[in-house]
Amino acid sequence: MKQTIYVDVLLAVNLFVNYFLLLTVRGFLHLTVSRLRLLLGAAVGAAGSLSILLPTLSPVLSVLFQLALSAAIVFSSFWRQRLGQLLRAFVCFYLISFAYAGFMLAIWYFVSPERIVIKNSVVYFEVPPLLLALLSVAAYGIVSLLSRLAGQREADGGFCKLTVCLDGREVSCVGKLDTGSTLMEPFSRDPVVVASRPVLKDLLVQSLPGFLEDPDAGNAAPDFAEAGSSVQNIRMIPYSDLSGTGVLPAFRPECLRIRQGNRVIEVRDCYVAVRREPFPGGTFDALLNPAFLTRGNHNRKGKEEMV
């Protein structure tokens, strides 16, 4: 029996499903991506679903096509992320899509609905739009709940309150955990937080005035001769990102306090690297290596005691 495939239904179903798959990837990997960008990636996936209209592909070609399509979807959604984050997003999206396809195959095998077609790794089924919306939202809710129970979701979307203490003074700012960051001081292997110069200015002007002269050490190192703190606590931290490679001047604070919700982490063995410009978007002032969450003393305090 031949099944009539309506292109509008095919595109709508796959647009909706891909959008929620991308939402799941964003939630698991804690990526900062707009919903509009996810919608663009979902549209790429919906366009790829038209392959169901092609002759049946061999298993090898079908897998290769799905890999290429997944790469296009992920790149369209997360292209501003670092290479490591892109690769993790690709693997995560492909695995989630594979699980979804397996779920659809199980429905086809056990229920054998008359209006479902699986061809070239693309699933087509006629379903009322309202039911599709409810099922997708319910599936996303279940995934989000499991993510919370597994401890995968960071408080406040990965944001935290960061307090830097040096020479009896301290400054506080908004920090963000960067799951793609592995930045460490190369000799001690202590984790490094990268903070923008403006938020540290009041702290540095008294203790480390050299950092205010040229915090971007890619061309010339700052002059630390007049630093109030001992010079052995100053390091040059090599880094690499999409814009290239370089080094950032960094200092060892007396302590670093990180607050997420009612959890406070105090870390002493670490470095604070100084970045010249504020971070794009203005939503945070510092990027933290996730290694900070496994170091230091962990405390839970009431609201009146929070740092």
Looking at the annotation, which residues are catalytic? Answer: 178
Query: CB pairs under 8 A, 24+ apart, for 106-113?
Result: none
Tokens of 241: 């990102």
Tell how strand 255-260 and strand 116-119 pair up. Answer: unpaired
250 strand-pairing partners: 235, 273
Tokens of 149: 């129970």
Q: Measure the CA angle with vertex 298, ends 145 and 197; round to 5°.
A: 95
Do 167 and 228 contact (CB within 8 A), yes or no? yes
Minimal CA–CA distance to 294: which of 271, 260, 254, 267?
Answer: 267
Q: Which residues contact 241 (CB under 8 A, 6 or more apart)?
A: 82
Taking the CB of residue 67, how many other CB atoms lie within 10 A of it? 12
Phi, psi of 226 (to 5 degrees): -100, 15
Report how far residue 257's alpha carbon sits from residue 267's, in angstroms, rounded to the nearest whole number. 6
Tell how strand 192-196 and strand 255-260 pair up. Answer: unpaired
Any alpha helices (H) in the chain, and if so which ranges?
A: 7-29, 35-48, 59-78, 83-110, 129-149, 197-207
Do 104 and 123 contact (CB within 8 A), yes or no? yes
Taking the CB of residue 234, how many other CB atoms lie within 10 A of it? 19
Q: What is the 3-state secondary structure (H, E, C) of 192-253?
A: EEEEEHHHHHHHHHHHCHHHHCCCCCCCCCCCCCCCCCCHHHEEEEEEEECCEEEEEEEECC
